[in-house]
Chains A and B, each alone.
Chain A
Amino acid sequence: MMLLKIEDNKVFFRTEKDKEFVNLDEIGKDDILSIFKKIFLAKEDENLKDFADEFNKDLIGNDAHKIIYERLYNKIKELWENRSTIIGEIKNEFKEAEEKYITK
């Protein structure tokens, strides 16, 4: 599900697959949070490029977009690379508790 794309020298985003893409100028906190969550909970076999176009400064003419997207993309990439470790960590933390308190 594409959430961030580069098109016509600009960057566009959306938070749901059935929503329209919006100019990056409009992006706010809740939008970013919603995008991060989707990236974070992506399936093992999915690819980052299915969610966000890779940052490429030559493809973005809009200076503001260039600056914002460069940083945003790096954050997303970092999140993508570390998500399974973080999820594993949390699951481990709750695994014993679930066994003790819930299943039996």
Chain B
Amino acid sequence: MKKIDFHIHTISTDKDGSFEFSIENLGKYISQREIDAIAITNHNVFDISQFNEIQGSIDAKVFPGIEIDVEKGHILVICSHDKFGIERIRLLSENLKDKFIDTKYISLELLIKLCSNPLDYLFIPHIEGKPKSLSLEVIKEFPQGYVYCGEVPNQSKFNLLKKDKNSSLTPVFFSDSRISKQMLIEHFSLRQTYLNIEALEFDTIKAALKDRSKVYLDIEGTDLFDATGEGDFIYPGINVITGKRSTGKTVLLKKMYAANENVKYIRQFELVQNQDDEEKSIEEFQKEVKLDEQKFIENHLNQFKDIASTVALIDLQINHNALDKYIESLHKFANDTTKKNSYAKTKLFSEEKFVKLPESSLKSSIEAIITLLENMKKDETLKKYLSDVNFNELLKELVSNFRKEKYNNKIREYVNEILDSVQPILQSKSDSPIITNYDQLLHMKNLMTVHNFNKLVKSMKESKVISLTNIGNFSIRVTRNAIDSAATLKKKIKKPSKVTHIFELYDKPYDYLIKMSNEGLANDVGIEKAFFDFQYDVLNKYGNPVSGGERSEFRLMRALKDAYSYQMLLIDEPESSFDNMFLREEINKTIKEMSEYLPVVIVTHNHTVGLSIKPDYIFHLIREDKPDGSEYYIFSGCPDAASLRNKEGKIIKNYIALMNSFESGEKAYEERKVDIYDVVKNRG
């Protein structure tokens, strides 16, 4: 067995957090984790002098590589460690240099052009939900022979993919570590892959990566992996840790938490609220739910926000004043005819400027037809119905009209410029009154926009359920309401000052908006938030608001849902706050589903959780008190095995361990005669 980590960063690029590479720590990492071969894979770059230094001083085989941004994903491209391989990667890096100036990703086509012979390279895309995974569609587009393995985000995905007969990809699991000066030995990554090979030649490695029976997470070739770095192996599925109180269950969990990256850790009692002050706990609960829904509300209001900010720029008072001045000047001018001198008598003296005409739909029609023509190339249905249409002539006419319109507008602008330059001179030579400018099109447009805005806000203030999301047996209901008082408004816009004078205008949305934006009151939170109030209710399966106990259950469901974005899930004694029915029915189902996405470890001393969840692997912890201190033992094994074993090879009977670990013990079992124990008892 050879242990490899083919995803290591040694250069801080703009895609990494800033770090200073330490060759010393790279050496320590390799010896600590007993790694046989690594690949240096920095983002879109290869530094040959650094690579040579690493290759010259590290006690492991070092392969050259680059992690390249391709088609919105990441792919590792690795070559042999001889001078030919190093030159290939150097050249690839050289060719990539100017490719990322205007774009974040290169095309698959370009990558294949730059690496024309697949036999010379090893391609490992991110897959299965690892951040920056390459989509299956893109992977399918690779020519035959390029891609046969993929880097997965966690051990569960590794296990699943390894056993998935329908997949053509072999899973690999790497550290993706930034080797920095600040790195601590206890944080060295546990993410590597074992290959069942004898020699570490590039071709041998490639051949092994084409055969999923040759990849493992552990040296023994079992499906287990080291979760603490101290030889505490767990299964990439559901693991249950049992044991009496103070046997080190939580300590073990904390070790796993510290040794792995991106772990969701649900601590004991974390989800239980203080039940003494019901009102306060409801308020806190609402706050939590509200925080979760923040993004949804922002999304919900984004369109309204755009509209409100457009409307806020409309100043109807200015439009009114312009009209006022216009009519007044018109009257004055008309009644002043007798006094006009030769300058004032010219037509240009009082000629009004052209107003800006609104843009017609011509442009969007042209764009739509171009899209249609493009789509027709591929879409048979479009072809069938539209092949008789004379798009050529249609497009020609539309484009011609569009140009005429553009031309017309340009000419009008040009005329306005002339008026701008001539009128002040003429007017300076005469005492006659001048006619002021007034844009009636803009005025009418603004009036109508304001009218529609008022109408929209009025309808939106009517109470309405805008979202109903299910989480297990619960649902979160979000209702949009009108703001009921100045006090609520004050809270919403987070202002200490009085807002009563503004809230008085709440029923006149446009005036309210203008006042609010003039005073800059909602600048911090966004003006859209000052219009509506949102109510968040969590309902149980009967559609009723949740009770105190149900609130904790809901919080657990939510925490579990949240865990999907992590790579490992640790739960410490979930039973401490929930009744068994709930645990059995809901949580077990959810955890079971989750274990297909990430490894799960549960600490428990509750038989319902411990057994009915059907763990893949179990731990039993024992403390032995001796005069000179306590000894702690960690036994583990498959749940259906007759005995469990610890690191030193000590053995205990599985059934005894099980009975020991539950607080109720064997007596309760005898009383209840729960079927599930018999399975284990008979094996014991």
With A and B bound together, what is the CA distance between A33 and B447 in angstroms? Answer: 10
**A28 adjacent to B358 (CB under 8 Å):** no
Which of A2-10, A48-56, A89-97 lies at the interface? Answer: A89-97
**A32 adjacent to B459 (CB under 8 Å):** no
Query: B213 at interface (Cβ–Cβ under 8 A)?
Result: no
Name the CB-closest residue of A to B443. Answer: A36
Chain B 350-369 residues near chain A, CB threshold 8 A: 350, 352, 355, 357-361
**B444 adjacent to A37 (CB under 8 Å):** yes
**A interface, over-half SS:** helix
**A78 adjacent to B355 (CB under 8 Å):** yes
**A67 adjacent to B334 (CB under 8 Å):** yes
Contacts A90-B449, A93-B307 known; A63 to B460 CB distance under 8 Å? no
**A71 adjacent to B337 (CB under 8 Å):** no
Contacts A63-B337, A68-B330 known; A29 to B440 CB distance under 8 Å? no
With A and B bound together, what is the CA distance between A32 and B328 in angstroms? Answer: 12
Q: Shortest beta-carbon distance, A82 to chain B, in Å?
A: 6
With A and B bound together, what is the CA distance between A102 and B455 in angstroms? Answer: 11
**A71 adjacent to B330 (CB under 8 Å):** yes
With a cutoff of 8 Å between Cβ atoms, the chain B residues found around residue A93 in the complex are 307, 310, 449
With a cutoff of 8 Å between Cβ atoms, the chain B residues found around residue A71 in the complex are 330, 352, 435
Query: B331 at interface (Cβ–Cβ under 8 A)?
Result: yes
A14-50 near B? 1/0 per residue, CB < 8 Å: 0000000000010111001100110010000000000
Query: A59 at interface (Cβ–Cβ under 8 A)?
Result: no
Chain A 78-104 residues near chain B, CB threshold 8 A: 78-79, 82-83, 85-90, 93-94, 96-98, 100-102
**A40 adjacent to B334 (CB under 8 Å):** no
Most B-side CB within 10 Å, residue of A25, A36, A96: A36
B318-341 near A? 1/0 per residue, CB < 8 Å: 001001101110110111010000
Which of A29, A83, A85, A97 makes the CB contact (< 8 A) with B456? A97
Q: Shortest beta-carbon distance, B451 to chain A, in Å?
A: 9
**B337 adjacent to A86 (CB under 8 Å):** no
B5-41 near A? 1/0 per residue, CB < 8 Å: 0000000000000000000000000000000000000
With a cutoff of 8 Å between Cβ atoms, the chain A residues found around residue B444 in the complex are 36-37, 40, 79, 83, 86
With a cutoff of 8 Å between Cβ atoms, the chain A residues found around residue B448 in the complex are 40, 86-87, 90
With a cutoff of 8 Å between Cβ atoms, the chain A residues found around residue B310 in the complex are 93
With a cutoff of 8 Å between Cβ atoms, the chain B residues found around residue A87 in the complex are 448
With A and B bound together, what is the CA distance between A64 and B340 in angstroms? Answer: 13
With a cutoff of 8 Å between Cβ atoms, the chain A residues found around residue B320 in the complex are 29, 33
Query: B304 at interface (Cβ–Cβ under 8 A)?
Result: yes
With a cutoff of 8 Å between Cβ atoms, the chain B residues found around residue A89 in the complex are 358-359, 445
With a cutoff of 8 Å between Cβ atoms, the chain A residues found around residue B330 in the complex are 67-68, 71-72
B405-444 near A? 1/0 per residue, CB < 8 Å: 0000000000000000000000000000001001011011
**A37 adjacent to B447 (CB under 8 Å):** yes
**B440 adjacent to A79 (CB under 8 Å):** yes
Name the CB-closest residue of A to B352. Answer: A71
Q: Shortest beta-carbon distance, A30 to chain B, in Å?
A: 9
With a cutoff of 8 Å between Cβ atoms, the chain B residues found around residue A28 in the complex are 327
**B459 adjacent to A102 (CB under 8 Å):** yes
Q: Shortest beta-carbon distance, A25 to chain B, in Å?
A: 8
Query: A75 at interface (Cβ–Cβ under 8 A)?
Result: yes
Which of A79, A83, A85, A94 makes the CB contact (< 8 A) with B360? A85
Query: B303 at interface (Cβ–Cβ under 8 A)?
Result: yes
With A and B bound together, what is the CA distance between A100 and B360 in angstroms? Answer: 25
With a cutoff of 8 Å between Cβ atoms, the chain A residues found around residue B452 in the complex are 90, 94
With a cutoff of 8 Å between Cβ atoms, the chain A residues found around residue B445 in the complex are 86, 89-90
With a cutoff of 8 Å between Cβ atoms, the chain A residues found around residue B449 in the complex are 90, 93
**B334 adjacent to A36 (CB under 8 Å):** no
With A and B bound together, what is the CA distance between A40 and B441 in angstroms? Answer: 9
**A102 adjacent to B456 (CB under 8 Å):** yes
With A and B bound together, what is the CA distance between A93 and B308 in angstroms? Answer: 12
Which of A36, A68, A88, A101 makes the CB contact (< 8 A) with B440? A36
Q: Shortest beta-carbon distance, A40 to chain B, in Å?
A: 5
Name the CB-closest residue of A to B324. Answer: A29
With A and B bound together, what is the CA distance between A101 and B357 in angstroms? Answer: 31
With a cutoff of 8 Å between Cβ atoms, the chain A residues found around residue B307 in the complex are 93-94, 97
Q: Shortest beta-carbon distance, A57 to chain B, in Å?
A: 12
B458-471 near A? 1/0 per residue, CB < 8 Å: 01100000000000
With a cutoff of 8 Å between Cβ atoms, the chain A residues found around residue B333 in the complex are 67
Name the CB-closest residue of B to A79. Answer: B440
**A29 adjacent to B334 (CB under 8 Å):** no
Most A-side CB within 10 Å, residue of B310, B330, B350: B330
**B303 adjacent to A82 (CB under 8 Å):** no
**B358 adjacent to A68 (CB under 8 Å):** no
Q: Shortest beta-carbon distance, B392 to chain A, in Å?
A: 27
**A78 adjacent to B447 (CB under 8 Å):** no
With A and B bound together, what is the CA distance between A83 and B358 in angstroms? Answer: 9
Q: Which 5 A-B pairs have the closest CB atoms?
A: A64-B334, A67-B334, A29-B324, A40-B444, A85-B358
Query: Hey, which bits of chain A sit against chain B, CB under 8 A?
Result: 25, 27-29, 32-33, 36-37, 40, 63-65, 67-68, 71-72, 74-75, 78-79, 82-83, 85-90, 93-94, 96-98, 100-102
Given A32-B323, A64-B331, 9 further pairs, Cβ under 8 A: A29-B320, A63-B334, A64-B335, A68-B330, A72-B330, A78-B440, A86-B445, A90-B449, A98-B456
**Selected A-B contacts with CB under 8 Å, 19 pairs:** A29-B328, A33-B443, A64-B334, A64-B335, A67-B333, A71-B330, A78-B441, A79-B440, A79-B444, A83-B444, A85-B359, A86-B445, A90-B445, A93-B307, A94-B307, A94-B456, A101-B303, A101-B304, A102-B456
